[in-house]
Structure 1
């Protein structure tokens, strides 16, 4: 990539972002169709499949960065991606809710609160992992990344159990929330695919093709973007936390808007929380590829991004509990607070060296 001119690098970056956008939409749609037809929607396998499928760009970028030794890009993309994907909920709140009401008011559910808590707990373990000795590992695995993965799996098991009903009134759903059950949009997508004559085999082939395209585009966007924006003076941390994270979050914006358009507000928030809880699991992948623990090499900027992700998630968890009624600039007060905090957080990140 270093031998290419800046205009070519920028063209590769933009083209890769477009591929990730389109392929990401296809991945999400076919994942929902396959999940419904294979009856994986409420099973642990379905949750894992959805988490991996919707984060394939981050998987590719993390693997590519780890292989090239650019661990700061990998760490920045993972942790910065969590903060930025949380801001996707601001976009959904402002543009996707019909009738006009704050997103968290319509989606309020104890299961979503639990999903947000899982994100916070996983990120807390990330902070703990950064303080461990760099040589503490066995068979290319460090205790921090292994603990994060185990915690994520246990969290999915508990969420899977909670999804079948909680010992609370309305099963944990708030009164006046979305009228149809969570995940109903998946059934509508499957029906639409059936009406168009799209069989399971075709859906699986589209899923595979979209997965390959996303993986390839993820590698290209990381390599070209790092070189191009590096020439513009943007550090690896800031690039991974902002530009790269924004490019890989494009599919979440599109699929989230589709869910809110269909009135499946709970699924829209769940997809964001679920993806954010999964992203730290990629530290295990980066550790296995690089051959050394990644988290102990984290800079104070990485810890800063982790704290930002925790704060933004906590704001939305509070919003799900308090269910704000008023809107400002067509969004709930929680979304407005997240937007302001994220802007302030990135401004603060830009002042931190190394």
Structure 2
């Protein structure tokens, strides 16, 4: 039911609920991002850690909430679709828009290329291995052939890798010589804004997931593809806002660090948290792996572009947009039955 049962379910009301919920996600994420930025400055965190941890985790909260609500509603495939679709959007569209809005080329760094990007590719690989282990050791009886159950012990594997990621970032913070914190930062107020932003996002995402589930059931859209398209685009808005604004301010490291840090958090934390809450969830390997393959190709493309001159030029930005357009065309073709690379979707 729309608005926690206050309004009846209908196509029009659910479309309105999705649009309104998206707006509140944007609003809450703005509060969250600003408070995270001020707190990072207050505690003297380096720019790459600010982008890849503090701001990234904050702007990734919609994806985390979408996985949790989708899992509780028995639609984990939609949650996986939202995470993977959002990751592809983040890797291709957000750096492209960030590169386009800057007056000059979007500058990156060796830290972004050789630490953040490569660790993110490792995160993709570990998630694929986790899915494969679920199919091999916990097959679901009576389900399609390549369907396995991701259990809590399996969900710990990506969480352990994220623990390693946090340890690496902590080492960078220890080696960093922090600047003097700017005056006027009210720490208590910023922590309060952060908490309110999280609460607004939590409520809005619950309505967003419900609306997408209703429309998917009404129009016969598979859960995974609904997550990849509608839900992924809506939950990626905070990441886009944060990165584009950082790029416009001339801080390419924070902008790209947010993209890669958000994706790392989504894959290694958001999905496992959904499993830990529910207990175990089925994953269709035939549905998930083709999308993970696309995500891998998109990540390799971004890695190659960032390494070329350690910058992102305007032509390269448009190339990333063209790549995302090709992905959308492929998803539409899959939905219409023109192609059949995603078996069982």
Counterpart residue number, 1:150: 160
Structure 1 residues 247 and 322: alpha-carbon distance in aligned structure 2, compared to 1, 3 A threshold: same
1:203 matches 2:204: no
Counterpart residue number, 2:215: 228
1:283 matches 2:293: no
Deviates more, 1:211-220 or 1:111-120: 111-120
- Could you tell me the TM-score, scaled by structure 1's length? 0.80
Counterpart residue number, 1:131: 132
Structure 1 residues 338 and 257: alpha-carbon distance in aligned structure 2, compared to 1, 3 A threshold: closer
Instruction: State how 1:106-125 maps to structure 2 within 5 Å.
Output: 106-125=107-126
Deviation at 1:150, TM superposition (A): 1.2
1:16 matches 2:27: no
Deviations 1:213-248 (A, max 9, x none): 011111111111221244234322122112111111
- Between the aligned partners of 2:73 and 2:34, the Cα distance in structure 1 is 32
- Between the aligned partners of 2:239 and 2:214, the Cα distance in structure 1 is 25
Counterpart residue number, 1:172: none
Deviation at 1:165, TM superposition (A): 7.1
1:91 matches 2:77: no
SS of equivalent to 2:157: helix
Counterpart residue number, 2:76: 71
Instruction: State how 1:1-354 maps to structure 2 within 5 Å.
Output: 1=1, 3-40=8-45, 48-86=53-91, 87-94=93-100, 96-98=101-103, 100-101=104-105, 103=106, 106-133=107-134, 136=138, 141-143=152-154, 145-161=155-171, 191=182, 194=184, 199-280=186-267, 281-294=269-282, 297-323=283-309, 331-333=314-316, 335-350=317-332, 351=334, 352=342, 353-354=344-345
- Between the aligned partners of 1:39 and 1:325, the Cα distance in structure 2 is 26
Deviation at 1:112, TM superposition (A): 3.5
Deviation at 1:293, TM superposition (A): 4.6
Deviation at 1:44, TM superposition (A): 7.8
For the Cα contact (< 8 Å) 1:115–1:159, is it kept in 2?
no
Deviation at 1:324, TM superposition (A): 7.7
Instruction: Give the paired residue count.
Output: 319
Deviation at 1:34, TM superposition (A): 1.6
Deviations 1:136-191 (A, max 9, x none): 59995133x2221111221332344457779xxxxxxxxxxxxxx9x99xx9xx85
For the Cα contact (< 8 Å) 2:117–2:303, is it kept in 1?
yes
For the Cα contact (< 8 Å) 1:111–1:162, is it kept in 2?
no
- Between the aligned partners of 1:269 and 1:302, the Cα distance in structure 2 is 26
Deviation at 1:282, TM superposition (A): 1.7
- Could you tell me the TM-score, scaled by structure 2's length? 0.82
- Between the aligned partners of 2:47 and 2:174, the Cα distance in structure 1 is 8
- Between the aligned partners of 2:237 and 2:196, the Cα distance in structure 1 is 18
Structure 1 residues 113 and 43: alpha-carbon distance in aligned structure 2, compared to 1, 3 A threshold: closer
Structure 1 residues 155 and 59: alpha-carbon distance in aligned structure 2, compared to 1, 3 A threshold: same
Counterpart residue number, 2:145: none
Deviation at 1:199, TM superposition (A): 2.0
For the Cα contact (< 8 Å) 1:109–1:320, is it kept in 2?
no
Deviation at 1:320, TM superposition (A): 2.0
Structure 1 residues 235 and 269: alpha-carbon distance in aligned structure 2, compared to 1, 3 A threshold: same
Deviation at 1:18, TM superposition (A): 0.2
Structure 2 unaligned regions, length at least 5: 3-7, 139-147, 335-341
- Between the aligned partners of 2:322 and 2:47, the Cα distance in structure 1 is 35
- Between the aligned partners of 1:271 and 1:348, the Cα distance in structure 2 is 27
